[in-house]
Structure 1
Amino acid sequence: MKSNDLVINKNILLHNTIRQGIRDAFPLAIGIATYGIPYGVLGIHAGFGVLGTVAMSALVFSGSVQMISIAMHTAGAGLVSIIGTAVLLNLRNLLYGATLASGISTAKKWRWLLAFGVSDEPFVLGTARFQSFGPDPLYFGIITIVFYLTWVATSFIGAIIGGHINTQDLGLDLAFPMTFVAILSQIIKDKPIIATALTGAIITIANEIFVPGSPYVILLAGFISPFVGCYLRSRKSNVE
């Protein structure tokens, strides 16, 4: 009898975890959809085709990397530059993974699969869940599946309708850069971060003036700017 009760309680717990994961992920999934469709449209206009556009979402699963890759490809950047930029953009996932490691540790052999879901939205929900309830790899897996399916599905929708949409008329080509600016504006709170942002802006503007259209500006700004911020922060820590 007790064993049956344990099985029932376990099933209830699993059901509640799945339901909570879907419920928590749904609002953010709507936000992901607003990027997935524009990405699909831009992918078509960049010449990736429906298959290439959707395959990139299925295999890469990183909105920032995919958007930047499209922009660089359109600007004529080489494969090495695109890959290098993608690596730099995703370096933050190393920190995300280190933070989430204890929360998915009980998954054991499935951890490598859950690692595929390490990105911005799963990180936010995952860390909040782990802090409140401890390790919960099932929850992390559920929210990852919701986000993944949303991203791939909306990329497909965008790719299908992409040929009938003028991206410049709708401003879709500005959607992702403006999102970056909006996110950045929320975290500029001290001098090191301000210096990092200004350094990146100066490098970008100077590049556009002296070497317009260079595919290496993202690599250059992304490599130099963080060092300026880290240097100023270390000086601030030493003074304190």
Structure 2
Amino acid sequence: MLTNQQTVRTALLEALPLALAIAAYGLSYGVLATQAHWSLWSTILMSLLVFSGSVQLVIVAMFISGAALPSMLITAVLLNLRNLLYGAALADNLAPASRKYRWLLAFGVSDESFVLGNIRYQKYGADPLYFGVVAGTFYSAWVVASYIGAYLGDLIDPVRWGLDLAFPITFVALLIPALTQKPIIATAITALGMASLLHHMMPNSEFNLILTGIIAPLVGLYIARRSHHG
């Protein structure tokens, strides 16, 4: 059994590589928001309140294309529906925490924290402290990087520096070791198949990301629940 101090240290060390990739992604968001003529503080406020890279980047792209506010809000809600599925899958992992603390942890649920939290749960059982440190690290990296990207603005070219690739490459590297569990394998295969099919049917449509982000986790959750009760 690890002490709290050891758990915090382990969580920080395991979160750091992905936090750096998240920071690179956050820089890209900050730069793009500035190019869309968002103010510094509106850019940062969105990171503080939303904390979702995919949602924020899609919203910026929709804003640039002239989309209406209701469309952007609906898109944000649909994209974040997968976090409800993540939360359901993480329920046992976070169960030992108090109700107030679970509300706080729920805000930190994301693709990245879910993967690390799930791997930890499979190895050592429920550990809300570990998940909280991981989520807090990712949140801090995202907000700080968003500020830096927005502050520097046009001084950074995300594509030239490869910042747009840092997150997906690191996330895939993190995901590969977890592909020993049936629910995660099912989610990954479903996401890959749906993304390929939808891109062929609707090239460059933001709805590809929305549909894939909703259906793929649903498949994984179904497999997990069936395995648990079977």
* 5+ long unaligned stretches in structure 2: 177-184, 219-230
Select 1:201's aligned residue among 176, 199, 206: 199
Question: Does the 8 Å CA contact 2:78/2:214 hold for their aligned counterparts?
Answer: no
Show the counterpart of 1:59: 49
Q: CA RMSD in A?
A: 3.3
Question: Does the 8 Å CA contact 2:83/2:109 hold for their aligned counterparts?
Answer: yes
Show the counterpart of 1:175: 164
**Cα deviation per residue 1:70-110 (whole Å; 9 max; x = unaligned)?**
00100001111112222222222122111111111111221
**Corresponding pairs, count:** 201
Identity %: 43
| Residues 152 and 225 (structure 1), Cα distance of their counterparts in 2 relative to 1, 3 Å cut | closer
Select 2:9's aligned residue among 19, 25, 30: 19
| Residues 100 and 30 (structure 1), Cα distance of their counterparts in 2 relative to 1, 3 Å cut | same
**Cα deviation per residue 1:123-160 (whole Å; 9 max; x = unaligned)?**
11101111121111111111111111110001111011
Show the counterpart of 1:115: 106
Q: Distance in 2 between matches of 1:31 and 1:166?
A: 16
The TM-score normalised by the length of structure 2 is: 0.75
Deviation at 1:201, TM superposition (A): 2.0
Question: Does the 8 Å CA contact 1:196/1:226 hold for their aligned counterparts?
Answer: no
Q: Distance in 2 between matches of 1:122 and 1:163?
A: 30
Decide which structure has greater helix share: 1
The TM-score normalised by the length of structure 1 is: 0.72
Q: Distance in 2 between matches of 1:136 and 1:114?
A: 12
| Residues 63 and 189 (structure 1), Cα distance of their counterparts in 2 relative to 1, 3 Å cut | closer
Q: Distance in 2 between matches of 1:225 and 1:64?
A: 10
Q: Distance in 2 between matches of 1:86 and 1:60?
A: 9
| Residues 201 and 48 (structure 1), Cα distance of their counterparts in 2 relative to 1, 3 Å cut | same
Return the index of the structure with the highest Cα Rg. 1
Aligned partner of 1:204: which letter?
A: M
* 5+ long unaligned stretches in structure 1: 1-8, 209-216, 231-240
Deviation at 1:164, TM superposition (A): 3.2
Aligned partner of 2:120: which letter?
A: R
| Residues 163 and 90 (structure 1), Cα distance of their counterparts in 2 relative to 1, 3 Å cut | same
Mapping of residues 1-240 of structure 1, within 5 Å: 13-109=3-99, 110-165=101-156, 170=160, 175=164, 179=168, 196-205=194-203, 217-219=205-207, 222-223=210-211
**Tell me, what secondary structure is at the counterpart of 2:90?**
helix
Q: Distance in 2 between matches of 1:121 and 1:225?
A: 14
